[in-house]
Structure 1
Amino acid sequence: MTGMHPRLTTTPAATTVFTMVLTQGPVSRVEIARRTGLSSAAVTKAARPFIDAGYLEELEATERTGPGAGRPASPLVIRPDREFFIGVKITHDDLIGVVTDLRARPLASAHRPLTATAPEGVVAELAALVTGLLDTDPAYRRRCHALGLAVSGDVDKAGGLVRYSPFLGWRQVPLARLAAQATGLTVTIENDVKSLTVAEQWFGDGVGASSFALVTVGVGIGCGLVVDDRVIAGSHGVAGEIGHIPVGGDEPACHCGGRGCVEAIAGTAPLVAAVGAATGRGPLSIEAAIEAAHAGDAAARQVFDRAGHALGLAMASMANLIGPERIIVTGDVPGLAAYELFEEQVNRAFAAQAFGAAADCRVLLRPRTFEQWARGAAAVAIQTLFTV
């Protein structure tokens, strides 16, 4: 993380208390103490820096701390406009940016096309996008200090480095430093799927689940994991790479250098190429491939069935290893349209391969726009408030 952001100096207890109010508030100190195991005095001490800095406020007393006695409790609530955040999703041909409040609610959005993917050019376009978003409202300029960037591929969040992004053609790009220099903001970078996972954990379908998985279907096949309330990155930052579980034997070859990866079977480009080859139609768009399958073309359907089987096996492997309470499946619109074609095969392979109670895991289909992916980047930026 790089930049000039006036971070709060917090303790683990303060982070716990603030996160609970942020994601589940309004909530009283008594209830926070009950849920977290902290003492009431510890909760009061933990909340004080956030109250003093204007991030939290107390509502008027609305409940009593005990049946028939005790003082009325004053719930704590977030002041969402105390600070604003920018999140940007970087694709190979577009920048999608949002301004959010503390609850990661999008307040303004903007798109900026990319004509090339060289890092210097992307950063220049990023700076222009950020300037435009900040100029939307004078309050954003005064109270926005943090920028979150979501990038596909192998991202070193702590080092601010994009180690490998196949769709951008990047290797070892110090994106956080470059973006901080260009924008003057504190910059946090994260893998795009993990960013979306943070948003789901705090503000979406993951709220209330201590363990869940987010699977994304589209250009790539990604997976974010939350275990015991923590997003899992692994020692090298690549935990959850479900797209590179080998389920296809020795074929086909994958861009990662491996063979038989889920992404090489169910990712948009290989899926479309396989439909074109199987039907003899040559190069197709994803929309044309989906249309062929919907029209009953047996060869096209077979390709989609294979993709669904591969994804179902990978999801079952993940469920067997992690044991999530739920799996949220999302992606871009064409990707999810394809998913609906092979959903039956996904469910069949998952049920056959999931072990024991892992087969009871709920699978939720949730479309997400690119603005919501950018919101995920903003959610990661919001975490910069808690750096101990």
Structure 2
Amino acid sequence: MDHDTATRTTLIRSASDAGSKVFATILTRSPISRIDIARHTGLSQAAVTKAVSPLVAAGLVDAPPAAHRDGNPGRPVAPVSIIPGAMIMLGVKVNVDEVIAVATDLTTAVLAADHRRLDAHDPESVLDAIVDVVATLELELGGRSAAIAGLGVSISGDVDTDTGVVRESALMGWHDEPFAGRLQDRLGRPVTLENDVHALTVGEHWFGVGLGTDSFAIVTIGRGIGSGLHLNGQVVTGAYGVAGEIGHLPLADPTRICPCGRRGCVEAVASTGAIEATVSASHGREIGIDEAVRLAHDGDPAAMAAFDEAATLIGTAIATLVNLTGPQLVIIGGEGVSNFDLFDATLRSAFEAHAFGAAARCPIVARPHTFEDWARGAAAAAIQSLVR
């Protein structure tokens, strides 16, 4: 981290509440006039001007000379814009078999990307892989690597962002792992650790669909069933950091055991692994998800039944989520979206059957997310952590 980046980091971290609000607004809505910043933040124009000045001086924000709008002789309009390359964030998505990493600017535009396969997914192996992939990104960035301000890491499971501890990750087999601290010691850079779906939601909240939507939920289907919530302008994590864990709603047959060790979880039936296990048991041999999808498309009864059962539970879980929190929109993401045609009709039918009253009007849209998008979400979580 060079002197300019260190100075900018200190400025952002030490900003007042008003300063943080102003910077976050410019960051996510740039270019924007000071008048509109005041409207969005509820601050006075004088307070906005006071907050903008040090950001301009530090090279984080560009403020061209004021101009009158459409020849109007009244108060001049002075739009301000974030300088995207003023700082760089790294984002890493940890999967059970690989890590995907990106370097982004302050708008999460990808500047460089890389990934590493994992032969083992114990914490030490993952630490080594992240250190290795970060070194590759730094090399690819060249001189720009001096602008790196931090690293965001996203991982499936119960993650305590405040302490940087993975409290429980069934996918990785980790318990009470102080991962952020260990990685920070290895890299010498600030590390933000976040649940993967929450990080993806942060990215959508700041730089995606959240900018035009008052509230939304992301539901991910694939190796796990997860959810992120954006309500009243904020990403909701809850007092214990596990808000939105619809994959562990006890809606399934209690004889079905989830990888988390509990019984009857939605994930015990609807995850990729659960579908593979169900279809494999029906055919008496091991069947991967790609073959299960092909069998279902070919009309195989066992495969079709497995996907229908999964879709029913996911649709019911989404109805529960919508009934409780009332989002304006539900986005279906995750690797399972590539096979969403196998879920679609049954999922929507189950949702409509259990959504209460006007909640049934909540639109459900499928939106593919690549693993690079998940890594961008981790970078966005690191940016959010810096700002807050």
TM-score by length of 2: 0.94
Give the residue type in structure 2 aligned to 1:330: G
In structure 2, the partner of 1:354 is 355
In structure 2, the partner of 1:35 is 40
Verify: 1:16 aligned to 2:21, yes or no.
yes
Answer with 19-28 or 246-255: which moved more: 246-255
Paired residue for 1:264, among 258, 261, 268? 268
The 5 Å alignment of 1:109-258 reads: 109-258=113-262
Q: Which runs of 5+ in 2 are unaligned?
A: none
C-alpha offsets along residues 54-76 of structure 1, whole Å, 9 cap, x if unaligned?
11111343543x99432321101
Give the residue type in structure 1 aligned to 2:217: A
Q: What is the CA–CA distance in structure 2 between the aligned matches of 1:84 and 1:190, rounded to whole Å? A: 18
Verify: 1:336 aligned to 2:337, yes or no.
yes
Q: What is the CA–CA distance in structure 1 between the aligned matches of 2:138 and 2:112, rounded to whole Å? A: 9
The 5 Å alignment of 1:361-380 reads: 361-380=362-381
Q: What is the CA–CA distance in structure 2 between the aligned matches of 1:314 and 1:196, rounded to whole Å? A: 19
Give the residue type in structure 2 aligned to 1:135: L
Give the residue type in structure 1 aligned to 2:166: V
Please provide the CA RMSD for this pair. Answer: 1.7
Q: What is the CA–CA distance in structure 2 between the aligned matches of 1:253 and 1:29, rounded to whole Å? A: 55
SS at the partner of 2:76?
strand
Q: CA deviation at 1:356?
A: 1.5
Q: What is the CA–CA distance in structure 1 between the aligned matches of 2:265 and 2:339, rounded to whole Å? A: 18
Give the residue type in structure 2 aligned to 1:350: F
In structure 2, the partner of 1:311 is 314
In structure 1, the partner of 2:106 is 102
Give the residue type in structure 2 aligned to 1:171: H
Q: What is the CA–CA distance in structure 2 between the aligned matches of 1:135 and 1:338, rounded to whole Å? A: 37
Give the residue type in structure 1 aligned to 2:30: G
Give the residue type in structure 1 aligned to 2:301: A
Q: CA deviation at 1:299?
A: 2.4
C-alpha offsets along residues 313-368 of structure 1, whole Å, 9 cap, x if unaligned?
00000000000011111012xx2233320111110011111112211112121111
Q: Which is richer in helix?
A: 2
Q: What is the CA–CA distance in structure 2 between the aligned matches of 1:37 and 1:149, rounded to whole Å? A: 32
Q: What is the CA–CA distance in structure 1 between the aligned matches of 2:288 and 2:43, rounded to whole Å? A: 55
Paired residue for 2:326, among 303, 323, 327? 323
SS at the partner of 2:209?
coil
SS at the partner of 2:90?
strand
Give the residue type in structure 1 aligned to 2:359: A
Q: CA deviation at 1:183?
A: 0.9
Answer with 359-368 or 192-201: which moved more: 359-368
Identity %: 44
Q: CA deviation at 1:207?
A: 1.7
Answer with 138-147 or 265-274: which moved more: 138-147
Q: What is the CA–CA distance in structure 2 between the aligned matches of 1:19 and 1:310, rounded to whole Å? A: 38
Q: What is the CA–CA distance in structure 2 between the aligned matches of 1:340 and 1:24, rounded to whole Å? A: 35
Q: Is the 8 A contact 2:68 2:74 kept in 1?
A: no
SS at the partner of 1:76?
strand
SS at the partner of 2:192?
strand
Give the residue type in structure 2 aligned to 1:351: E
Q: Is the 8 A contact 1:308 1:339 kept in 2?
A: no
Q: Which runs of 5+ in 1 are unaligned?
A: none
In structure 2, the partner of 1:302 is 305
4+ aligned runs moved over 6 Å, structure 1: none
